Each structure stands twice: as structure tokens, then as C-alpha cells.
Amino acid sequence: MVVGAGLAGVRSVEALRARGFGGGITLIGEERHRPYDRPPLSKGVLLGETDSTVVDSDLDALEVDFRAGVSAKGLHPGVVETTEGELAYDGLVVATGARPIRLRGDGPQHVVRTIDDALRLRSLLSEGTRVAVIGAGWIGAEVATAARRAGCAVTVVEAAATPLAAALGRVGAYTAPWYAEAGVDLRLGTMVASVEHGGLTLADGSALEADVVVTGVGVRPATEWLAGSGIRLDNGVVTDEHLRTSLPDVVAVGDCAAWWSRRYGVRLRVEHWDTALGAPDVAVATLLGDAAVYDPVPYFWSEQFGHMVQYAGHHDGARPIRRGDPEAEGKPRWAVCWMTEDDRLAAVLSVNRPRDLVQGRRLIEGGQRLDVDRLTDPAIALRDC
Ligand code: FAD
């Protein structure tokens, strides 16, 4: 049985069949939609380029009993309690993803997590509409991009001193000029106290008027239904490197799973598409009795203000080194390489330099030492450093 019908859920079903599992599979999901991709929600969908992002997967051919609009409410050994009664399982994949954090206040606040969220918000983005976006993270930047494209007057309010601070630390500062260039009023170091009807109250007591408020301050793993089940939870469902949870015959994948990374020697919970795509095959192998290990170099991308931003690796404790000039005239093409103490590549951020991302990812996987002086020269291919 698979609980959660997002990308990780549907990939789990596919992986079960691909590995020859011939038994019955039930897939339950609380949304009333077939499984769909979320990255386009804050890009193509908000921009009006597409209305549907349904995953290309033939549920009939997979012979899966897909139950849309059904939520899991609790878990006991061998049984999932759902809004439609109890369902027994021999093996269980937990793939319930994450839910957006909302802020205090009675005023309406939009989030972008589901296709319904995105279509609702899109219908409000029009010429002259005053939009306040809370959070200059990945989602905030993409929402601001779409809102400006629609002709809205956009203010982004960010508590940290730079955009993308949680993900990139001070490196995120290089993206701050993109906001002004796009005509967005970016207010850094500004805390929101509450969301009110007609806008925001800021922590200093002042008001920011807005017709539409979008909150993009992060997500929490959707694990509330597992409370009391005895499964170990700590910033998500805790798993080992095989994606096995603390309960027998239960594995976890995607945004809700905090897995042990053999590569980095820490527990990681990575809220990105590539994890939801890749983890299910390993989790399903584990359920079926193989000792596969999930040990990827994490990867994600974002499209904001006309720039393709890509990241691979894990940079905790590594030092950032710049490659190319973020302030260059025209379309900037630059990267940041985070280096370990012994000059190995820990992570790479590339902006409009997809080759650096591809080559950097291989170098991270390979683990070879690099020449840091050569690395600062963007004319030298990363693989030749
Ligand atoms: P989800 O996609 O969240 O799916 C989980 C499903 O489980 C949901 O449908 C949920 O309703 C359901 N569920 C939850 N609780 C229950 C329950 N109790 N019972 C039954 N069903 C339940 N990643 C990138 O790498 N690049 C990007 O550019 C990017 N852009 C993004 C843009 C947006 C707007 C969003 C929201 C995410 C973006 N991501 C991006 C992240 C990526 O989409 C997620 O990492 C991915 O969707 C995670 O897949 P998942 O299947 O683990 O979880």
C-alpha cells in the first residue's frame, strides 16, 4: 500500500511493478486529482502557460487501486486507518509529502502547494493588483516573477538579510539585484507580525497594504497522521539508508522522509523533485527484501526572474568560491563552488551555466581534488579544474 499520491507515491507504484511485484497495490491520496508534478505550479501554471501537470503514468496499466480524496488518519501494525475505513497492508510506503507553513492573522493568505492553490492564485494576478509575498525563498521568488509578469505591483518581505538565506546562506545575496531589475520591491530584514484583511502588519507595527498575500516561508512534513503509531519522527519520518522506518515493513520517501545519508554522514530531508523521483526505487527494493542504499548527491533547480538556478550537493561546513561575475552586464552567467577543507567539491550553485551543474555533480560524486585557482576562472571548464 502507498499513502500519498504525489510524485513519490506514483513512482513507488511504478517501481513495485518494475521490480516484478504482482500483488495488489492500493494508492491513496487526499487530493481529488491524479498524481501531478508540483515544480510547474509556481512557474508555467502561474504564468498561464499550462493548466495541467499530471504525471505521465498509466495507472490502469499499473493495475493499482487508486483512491483519490481519501486521507490516512492513523497507522497500526498492518493497518492504515483512513477516512474510508481501515485498509490492511503487508508492506507500506509513506509518501505524504509536506504542507506549507501559514502565518498568524485573520487575513486571507495564499500558499502554492497544490494545483488548486496555483489556479486560484493565478486568477487573482492581474495588472495593478498589489501582491505581498512573504519570504524570498524559492517559491517566493518564483511567485514574484509570475506576479510581475502579470503586471502586479509586487513587494517581497523577507526576515533574513538576503534572499534564499536558508538554502544558500550569504551566497543568496547575489540574487537580490534581480528583484529590483524586475520591478519588485524587496524588503530584507523585515519581519511580518500577522496577515490582516487588506495586507500585512509588520513587526515594527507598520502596515503594508496588499490585495493578495502569498505566504512562502517553508513547509513541514505531512506526518500528523502518524502520531501515536510508534513510528520514529524527527523533522519527518526517520529512515535508515535503505529508507526503512522504525516500524517493520514500512518505508518512507520524498518530502516527508528524513533519511540517513551514507555520503554525508548526516540525516537529510530534501524537499525537492529529484528526491521524490529517485528514492522510491530504493524504498521499494527494501520492501521487497533487497539491500539497496539511497545515497544521491541532492539536486534541484529554480527558474526565477529569467534565470535558471541549479544546485547540487550539500555545502554545510564548506567554503564558497565564486566563479564568474554575478554583476556582469547582460545575462549573468556565474557559479559558486563550495569546497571542503581538502579542496574537494561539496556543492555547486550555477546560474545560467548548466554545464557547471552537470560537470559539478560528477565531480562531487567522484570526490577528486580540484585546483581552486583554476576554478575561479569561468573560462576553464569545471571538469578541467
Ligand atoms: P507531495 O508532492 O507533497 O505529495 C504528497 C501527497 O500526499 C500530496 O498530494 C498530499 O495531499 C498527500 N497527502 C498528505 N497527507 C496525506 C494523508 N494523510 N493521506 C493521504 N494523502 C496525503 N523541486 C525542485 O527540485 N525544483 C523546483 O523547481 C520545484 N518547484 C516547486 C514548486 C512548488 C510550487 C512546489 C510546491 C514544490 C516544488 N518543488 C520543486 C518541490 C517538489 O515538487 C517536491 O519535492 C515534490 O513534490 C515532493 O513529492 P512528494 O511526492 O514527496 O510529496
Contact 312, 297 (CB under 8 A): yes
Q: Which atom of ligand 1 is nearest to the CA of 275?
A: 45
The residue whose CB lies within 8 Å of the most ligand 1 atoms, and thus the one to mutate among 42, 122, 226, 272, is 272
Q: With cut-offs at 50, 70 and 90, classify the pLDDT of residue 284.
A: very high
Cell of 357: 551543474
What per-residue confidence (pLDDT) applies to 291? 83
Among 221, 220, 273, 276, smallest CA distance to 243 is for 276
Distance in angstroms (rounded) separating the CA atoms of residues 348 and 300? 11
Distance in angstroms (rounded) separating the CA atoms of residues 244 and 224? 19
| Span from the CA of 324 to the centroid of ligand 1 (angstroms) | 34
Residue 297 has pLDDT above 90, yes or no: yes
What per-residue confidence (pLDDT) applies to 328? 85
What per-residue confidence (pLDDT) applies to 329? 81
Residues paired with residue 299 on neighbouring β-strands, in sequence order: 312
- The arithmetic mean of pLDDT across residues 355-364, rounded, is 96
The residue whose CB lies within 8 Å of the most ligand 1 atoms, and thus the one to mutate among 273, 274, 275, 302, is 273
Q: Which residues line ligand 1 (CB under 6 A)?
A: 3-9, 28-31, 38-39, 41-42, 71-72, 95-98, 112-113, 139, 222, 225, 254-255, 271-274, 276, 300-302
For 327-351, the pLDDT digits (tens) are: 888 889 999 999 999 999 999 999 9
Q: Which domains does the chain have, with CATH numbers?
A: 2-99+219-287 (3.50.50.60), 102-215 (3.50.50.60), 306-384 (3.30.390.30)
Q: In whole numbers, what is the pLDDT of the chain averaged over residues?
A: 97
Distance in angstroms (rounded) separating the CA atoms of residues 75 and 250? 10
| Span from the CA of 256 to the centroid of ligand 1 (angstroms) | 9
Cell of 218: 517553508
Among 334, 333, 385, 332, smallest CA distance to 362 is for 385
What per-residue confidence (pLDDT) applies to 331? 87
Distance in angstroms (rounded) separating the CA atoms of residues 155 and 329? 25
**Distance of alpha carbon 59 from the chain centroid:** 25
Task: For residue 355, count other CB atoms closer than 10 A to its CB.
Answer: 13
First to last CA, the chain: 48
Q: Whose CA is nearest to atom 3 of ligand 1?
A: 97
Q: With cut-offs at 50, 70 and 90, classify the pLDDT of residue 218.
A: very high
Q: Which atom of ligand 1 is nearest to the CA of 35?
A: 9
| Span from the CA of 273 to the centroid of ligand 1 (angstroms) | 8
Among 375, 271, 335, smallest CA distance to 7 is for 271
Specify the pairing of strand 257-261 against strand 237-239: parallel
ipTM score: 0.99
What per-residue confidence (pLDDT) applies to 17? 98
HEC string for the chain: CEECCCHHHHHHHHHHHHCCCCCCEEEEECCCCCCECCHHHHCCCCCCCCCCCECCCCCCCCCEEEEECCCEEEEECCEEEECCEEEECCCEEECCCEEECCCCCCCCCECCCCHHHHHHHHCCCCCCCEEEEECCCHHHHHHHHHHHHCCCEEEEECCCCCCCHHHHHHHHHHHHHHHHHCCCEEECCCCEEEEECCEEEECCCCEEECCEEEECCCEEECCHHHCCCCCCECCCEEECCCCECCCCCEEECHHHEEEEECCCCEEECCCCHHHHHHHHHHHHHHHCCCCCCCCCCCEEEEEECCEEEEEEECCCCCEEEEECCCCCCCCCCEEEEEECCCCEEEEEEEECCHHHHHHHHHHHHHCCECCHHHHCCCCCCHHHC
What per-residue confidence (pLDDT) applies to 129? 98
**Residues with Cβ < 8 Å from 184, sequence gap 6 or more?**
144, 148, 154, 155, 156
For 46-72, the pLDDT digits (tens) are: 999 999 999 999 999 999 999 999 999
Q: Which atom of ligand 1 is nearest to the CA of 70?
A: 20
